[in-house]
Amino acid sequence: MPDSAIPGPIGKASAKNKPTLPHRLRKFALRLAVVILALAIGGELFCRFYLGMGDPPLMMADPQMEYLFKPSRTYHRFGHRISYNAYSMRSDDFPLRKSDPDEFRVLVIGDSVVNGGARVDQSELVTSRLQQQLRQDLGCPVIVGNISAGSWGPPNELAYIKRFGLFSADVVVLVLNSDDYRDLPTFSPVVGVNPNFPDRAPPSALLEAITRGVHDYIPWLYPASPTDAPEPTATPDTVRQCLDAEREIFRMARDGNAAVFLMQYQAADEMGDTKEPGYAEIKAVGKECNVPIIETGPSFAAALAGGATLFRDPIHPNAAGHKIMADLLLKPVEDVARSRQAGAATPDAATPGTSKGKGPQ
């Protein structure tokens, strides 16, 4: 038998073909990369389309208002539509001045309670509901503007109307909660610093979910920001400035020939007789200025007693809470509209469901 036909040692050929350690590591690394890529793509899709991350409303710093939302933008977040018009209102676009002599305009001014945040769809806001119902009931063009941003107080809101004016409003509703009596702007650099005040879209929904999760649930791993500080103390000067801003908003509204209302919003722990500090002070200014006062507490308490869920946290109303606020505003605002349609002066007496002070003595 030729030497070439003699078989070699058993296992010699298989040993030559056996993958080397570097080759096995490369295959493992490739498989791992594919798995990581698949998880990243899956996580991105899950966070964007199921959790609703990746498209937060963007803000911009402002030297007078502290911050406000970037104008003329629409977002989709947590399954809800969030839209800001050219004046940074969470409202439909409308011209600065009335385009129809029969048009009726309402401005609702407040903080995150009025704004609704990403957890309330645009169509479910107090302002959107009020606008739709007024259009049906009055049979004329109606605009309801939503002037708001999270953690705004009366000085922020006053700065807004000093900048933009009152848009020929027939009615101005100032919505204040008890904390607003001391909510003075600090002008700390929060826009683009705190995750709640983004100035640009995140690179991905997955990255935003991780960042927010670290900030909310593992705060010691996240750099502290000015808005993580304790609530400001109610010093005499802080309270004076906030209450003076409340008075000035009422004055400007009346100087603009608008009927004005104060809606006192009560948080979950104010449903009974106990009220937070600031409630009495804010109400006293409304009475001093002879402004009709609409309180949310009694209607909210009655609905809660019936088993309704109205809050998404201890302070903020959910969509059902926004509906009750719209219902409370509907009749007082319609009374003003019908009075103006009839060519009569705006009534001074408190409308049903409101309380009214005697004014300065």
Query: Is the per-residue pLDDT at 355 higher than 50?
Result: no
What does each C-alpha distance from 221 to 114, 197, 212 come to in angstroms?
A: 32, 19, 11
Span 230-253, average pLDDT: 91
Least confident of 85-89, 105-109, 223-227, 248-252: 223-227
Residue 334 lies in a domain: yes
Kindly report the CATH number assigned to the domain that includes residue 125: 3.40.50.1110
User: Does residue 220 lie within any of the structural domains?
Assistant: no
- Does 254 fall in a domain? yes
Distance in angstroms (rounded) separating the CA atoms of residues 75 and 52: 10
Higher-scoring residue by pLDDT: 276, 218: 276
Contacting residues for 120 by C-beta, under 8 A, at least 6 apart? 80, 318, 319, 322
Percent of the chain whose pLDDT exceeds 90: 66
Domain that holds residue 255: 85-186+232-341
**Over 70: is that where the pLDDT of 216 sits?**
no
Asked if residue 161 is part of any domain, the answer here is: yes
- Residue 116 falls within a domain, yes or no? yes
Q: What is the pLDDT of residue 217?
A: 52
pTM: 0.84
DSSP 8-state symbol, 350: P
For residues 12-25, average pLDDT:
67
Report the number of distinct structural domains present in the chain.
1
Helix, strand, coil percentages (3-state) for the chain, rounded to 5, are: 45, 15, 40
> What pLDDT score was predicted for residue 231?
64
pLDDT of residue 204: 87
Instruction: Please check whether residue 349 lies inside any domain of the structure.
Output: no
pLDDT at residue 159 greater than cutoff 70: yes
The lowest-confidence range among 33-42, 82-91, 190-199 is: 33-42
Residue 157 in this model has a pLDDT that exceeds 60: yes
Cα angle for residues 230, 178, 307 (degrees, 5° grid): 105
- Amino acid type, 103: E
Residue 197 lies in a domain: no
Maximum pairwise Cα distance, the chain: 129
pLDDT of residue 185: 93
In a domain, 36, yes or no: no
